[in-house]
Amino acid sequence: MLAPLLFVWPVSIAVTHYFATAVASYPYDQALRENVNAVARQIKFVNGRPQIALPASARAMLRADEIDHVYFHVLNRKGVKLAGDTELPVATDLDYQADELGEIYFREVEAGGQDLRVAYTYVGEPSMPRERWLLVEVGETLEKRSQLANKIIASVILPQFVIIPLAVVLVWFGLSQGLRPLTVLRERIEARAESDMSPIRTRRVPEELQPLIDAFNAMLERMRGNLDAQQRFIADAAHQMRTPLTGLKTQAQLAMRESDPEELKKSLRQIATGVDRAAHLVNQLLTLARAEASDAAQQSLAPLNLDLLLREQVEEWVMRALDKHIDLGYEPAPPSEIMGSAFLLRELVSNLIDNALRYTPADGRVTCRVVVQGDFVTLEVEDNGIGITEEQAALVFERFYRVDGTGTDGSGLGLPIVREIAELHRAAASLRPNPHERGAIARVVFPRYRPPADRPAFDAQIEGELGGRGLPAAHNPPTGFV
């Protein structure tokens, strides 16, 4: 605040000087007008010839000024001086000056090293030609004007030498008092422990700081939720990793004690199976971590054909389905473009197919399809396996949750990965009982890709159908798809 004040101060002095000079000049210009008119009234025309009669009293009136020097003269249009003072210079551009009869004009000249303010007018009769008019000029030095202007400036500037320092003190005091709550808030934040995620108290907080503290507390709440989720995830992941590693260690110890080649091969096969399970769990954990890194994944979203991607993934899973004697089918669909990450969507489809194959017994059936309905594209994986209840459907997207009594190994991460990837794509994922037969249907509903020209209206429609929440929840997809 001090820098603008120090900048404005000299600017105000310059502006004050300009207006003070204009104000001081006005009354003295009026006096010059009267002097010019007084001299002009002493000029008479007799038979077209000028007669100048300036009595001593008129000359004394012009010389009565004790501060400034006043000069006058009377000229013809050729610049020949008819009466008056020789000290007052004649204009060099006399022919080009304004020459309306009876009007009073002003000009600035210099004489004897002094600046003069000159008022002049033309005297003549209306019937006379311009060449016979007379020019009357009265000039005055500028001392009185300067003195008056200085007094005006001093009366304005001198109080500022008190007002400006006082304003600086008041500004400093006001800002220090006004910013004290920010200082207190900063000290309270600096004094908090790194693990303290409790909200900042808002009691006796200035009204201006209330939105800032509310936003900060909301951020702390989100961070606390993220940290709690990460801690639970780390604890659950450590437990899940500990189990296969313990099993591998036990199998390795048993294999080291075996002398029978057949038993040794059996132990090695169990070790290989355990390694596959651990590798699958690690891969799913890495995929989940990548899906959670939504900022980086959002940048890789591009238009792609979901039906083509589904067909490619089904082809990769056909052999594993045949090994389990399961009929893995694919129903073709027309081109269905969405905005997505090809890598993450392959993981999503793979997890859905893997989940369906795990919970479908031999001689069962798994069918994959893409359905296009209006502004949405739905990916479906239908099976006739062991099925799922409505209560279990609400829990299967939780991390490490596994349905009891199925006799199927799993990490409990497949469907949580599907949910994370779906939310990244503004999609809704769900798993519900198969309404046609025993089994389940997994659905992921995506917004259909539109060209940029249709994007504003399309986004508004999607936001409206999804309730304006941006990312739809996995348990609450658009109406009519689940």
Residues 192-215 have pLDDT tens digits of 887 788 888 877 777 888 888 889
230-282 tens-digit pLDDT:
776 676 666 666 666 777 777 788 778 777 888 778 778 778 877 776 776 67
Mean pLDDT of 17-33: 85
Best CA proximity match to 277, nearest among 312, 244, 303: 244
How far, rounded to the nearest angstrom, does the alpha carbon of residue 220 sit from its chain's CA centroid?
22
CA distance 105 to 33: 9
Q: Report yes or no: 116 and 88 within 8 Å, Cβ to Cβ.
A: yes
Neighbours of 116 (CB within 10 A): 23
Count of CB atoms situated within 10 Å of the CB of 310: 26
Task: Tell me the two tokens of residue 14.
Answer: 């310059």
In this structure, CATH architecture of domain 293-465: 2-Layer Sandwich (3.30)
pLDDT above 80 for 182: yes
pLDDT score of 475 more than 50: no
Instruction: Supply the pLDDT for residue 315.
Output: 92
Do the two domains 2-149 and 293-465 of this chain adopt the same fold?
Answer: no
Provide the pLDDT for residue 47.
77
Element (H, E) at 373: strand 365-373
Distance between CA atoms of residues 175 and 182, nearest Å: 11
- For the segment 148-153, the average pLDDT, to the nearest whole number, is 85
More confident residue, 246 or 154: 154
Asked if residues 62 and 138 have their Cβ atoms less than 8 Å apart, the reply is yes
CB 111 within 8 A of CB 86: no
Q: In this predicted structure, what is the pLDDT of residue 126?
A: 79
| pLDDT over 70 percentage in the chain | 80
Transcribe 378-392 into DSSP letters.
Answer: EEEEEE-SS---HHH
Distance CA 25, CA 142 (A): 9
pLDDT tens digits, 355-411: 899 889 999 999 999 999 888 999 999 999 888 888 888 788 777 666 655 555 555
Query: What's the farthest any 2 CA atoms get from each other in the chain?
Result: 157
Give the pLDDT of residue 327: 93
Measured at the CA of 198, the angle between CA 197 and CA 201, to 5 degrees, comes to 140
Residue 369: predicted pLDDT: 94
> What is the pLDDT, as a whole number, of residue 464?
57
Tell me: pLDDT of 436 over 70.
yes
Q: Which residues contact 377 (CB under 8 A, 6 or more apart)?
A: 306, 336, 337, 338, 370, 371, 445, 446, 447, 448
Break the chain into its structural domains and give their ranges.
2-149, 195-245, 293-465
User: For all residues of the chain together, what is the average pLDDT?
Assistant: 79
Please tell me the predicted confidence (pLDDT) of residue 187. Answer: 84
Looking at 180-260, list the stretches that DSSP marks H as alpha helix, in order from N- to C-terminal side.
180-191, 210-257
Position 392, amino acid = Q
Cβ atoms of 339 and 302 within 8 Å: the answer is yes
For residue 385, give the nearest of 325, 431, 440 by alpha carbon. Answer: 440
Q: Tell which CATH classification among 3.40.50, 3.30.450, 1.10.3470, 3.30.1490 matches the domain 2-149.
A: 3.30.450
C-alpha gyration radius of the chain: 49
Q: Quick check: helix, strand or coil at residue 258?
A: coil
Confidence of residue 289 (pLDDT cuts 50, 70, 90): low
Q: Is-contact 385 439, C-beta < 8 A?
A: yes
Name, in order, each residue with C-beta under 8 angstroms of 5's C-beta and a sequence gap of 6 or more: 164, 167, 168, 171
Mean pLDDT for 414-439 is: 87
Compute the distance between CA of residue 421 and CA of residue 429 in angstroms, rounded to an integer.
9
